[in-house]
Structure 1
Amino acid sequence: MTSTPRNILIVGASSSIGSAVIDAFGQRGDHVFGTACSGKVPGLPDEHTIALDLLRPESMDAAAETIGTRAGQLDVAVFLAGVLPGNALSSYSDEQITNVLTVNVGGQAALLRRLLPLLRPGARVVMTASVSGERGSFDPVYAASKAAVIGLVKSLATWLAPEIRVNAVSPGLIDGSTMHADMLPERRSVHRDRTPTGRLVTPEEVAGVIVDICGPAWAGLNGQTIGVNGGAHV
């Protein structure tokens, strides 16, 4: 356990790695709060869950107010929310393009703006990029949204310092994730075979990196994107 429990907010806590991140912070004795569109997050009590729809400004307003009431000041904010249609550009509708860009980056930036008054001096913000945002993807809109996350992190790391540090993790395909489950077996094999370690990363491994970089040993880390992909993209 940590000597002084911290207040942790996980945005998109019902995501594929949400439970692993909740468990990892919980094992350190931290107080974990989470958001989800449904307002229900497995592993968290009702009083620690907040309904949030990143497509609706009024939902973000309400969520930020609720977070301030229930959690007070925040020590860590982790952004896991995201959507991945897996479409070629020709298969996207205009509405889908807007939704992907909003949920994956625009809405998260808007929510973070609302949360800034709640972040203590010394707080950590961790956002979730993707290997797709670094090397491109079959789904160009998703890849563009994740590339934008990286640019957002680099910019915020400059303008929010020294009070707040901002970094990102950039996973490859995660074993057992929704994306992994929806993928054809042959595509899973391609991802695994091009990974030098010979296996995909797990939710627990990504969660471990997120928790570690929020600790005092990583106080000098700011504006960085940490690839968690087994060396598939270096």
Structure 2
Amino acid sequence: MKKLIITGAANGIGRATLEKAIQQGYFVIGVDKDGEGLNALQRIHGSQVLETHVADFSDSAVIKGFIPALYERHDTIYGLVNNAGIYHGKSVYHYSDDEVDEILNVNLKALVYLSKEFAEREMRHEAARSIVNIASVAGEVGSCDALYGATKAAVIGLTKANAWNFAPFVRVNAVSPALIHDTAIYDTIPAYRRNEYARQEILKDPILPGGVAEVILLLVGDAMRHISGRVIPVDNGAYPR
């Protein structure tokens, strides 16, 4: 049974990915700061297929120590889905210093440390491994939340660089969602931006977390073994690029 780390696993895209991964036969290591959400998932799925960890990646010490501590319990792990992220939906003028530090830690610094610590350990096995980062259309076309857009643009750059850094054994790709319904972020996006995202879509079936999860797991798995350094949009055809 292949082991797969999923951060931000308690809700939204992370939860949908966790549930579909278990259905596909993975043993999932779910990580989130939402302990109650993780406990609910643990009760549903059980310890035979799910291990959960409460971790707040706004804390630099947690970021740096998480993967080393995990490998005290596991000899090898197949994949890492860097999904945890935060979005405030407000102008850069309204960010406090603490909020700037928080979003940089959660949305970017965590990916740097989790990815390199995972890759360093798994490259020793000289076998196929996979990292999938969750970017955003905001990192490609901009965002009304400058810090969110900046971190997601950096995730795209990190994905491409790490595809080189971790080759030939660890593939690194990104999924770039647009307007995803039924998530905590959806109601935080200003209405005018939601309307603009919807207007740009050429496919009209609303994108749900499960639809994004399907693309994530496709990238994680062996079917995409020849793909690395790519950004795959999940956006109903909006923003052709």
SS at match of 1:74: coil
Q: Could you tell me which residue of structure 2 aligns to residue 159 of structure 1? A: 165
**2:78 equivalent to 1:75:** yes
1:34 aligns with 2:27: no
Aligned equivalent of 2:108 = 105
For the residue of structure 2 that corresponds to 1:144, the secondary structure is helix
Q: Distance in 2 between matches of 1:16 and 1:181?
A: 13
Deviation, structure 1 residue 96: 1.3
SS at match of 2:185: helix
- Decide which of 40, 43, 48 is 2:41's aligned counterpart: 43
1:172-191 deviations in Å (ceiling 9; x for gaps): 01011112133466654443
* Aligned counterpart in structure 1 of residue 131 of structure 2, from 117, 125, 134: 125
Q: Which moved more, 1:110-119 or 1:202-211?
A: 110-119
Note if 1:170 corresponds to 2:169: no
Read off the aligned partner of 2:137 and give its amino acid letter: V
SS in 2 for 1:77: strand
Cα drift, residue 101 of structure 1: 1.4
Q: Is the 8 A contact 1:122 1:163 kept in 2?
A: yes
Give the structure 2 partner of residue 11 of structure 1. 7
**CA apart distance, 1:61:** 4.5
The range that moved more, 145-154 or 58-67, is 58-67
Is structure 2 residue 20 aligned with structure 1 residue 24? yes
* Range 118-127 or range 204-213, more displaced: 118-127
Which residue identity lines up with residue 41 of structure 2 in the other structure?
G
Contact 1:50–1:67 (Cα < 8 Å) also in 2:
no
- What TM-score do the two structures reach when normalised by structure 2? 0.87
Structure 1 equivalent of residue 88 of structure 2: 85
2:117 alignment partner, one of 110, 114, 117: 114
| Ranges in structure 2 where 5+ consecutive residues have no aligned partner | none
TM-score by length of 1: 0.90
Distance in 2 between residues matched to 1:148 and 1:187, nearest whole Å? 21
Please give the residue correspondences for 1:159-198 in structure 2 after superposition, counting only pairs within 5 Å. 159-183=165-189, 187-198=193-204
Q: How big is the alpha-carbon RMSD for the aligned residues of Structure 1 and Structure 2?
A: 2.0
Aligned match of 1:55: 58
Paired with 1:62 and 1:159, the residues of 2 have a C-alpha distance of: 21
Gaps of 5+ in 1: none
Aligned to 2:128, the other structure's residue is in SS state strand
**Is 2:2–2:27's contact at 8 Å kept on the other side of the alignment?**
yes
Range that drifts further, 11-20 or 123-132: 11-20
Change (3 A) 1:30 1:67: same
Is residue 174–residue 180 contact of structure 1 (8 Å, CA) maintained in 2? yes
For residues 85 and 182 of structure 1, do their structure 2 counterparts lie closer, same or farther at Cα, with a shift above 3 Å needed? closer
Pair 1:132–1:183, CA change in 2 (3 A): closer
User: What is the CA distance between 1:25 and its match in structure 2?
Assistant: 0.8
- How many residue pairs get aligned? The number is 230
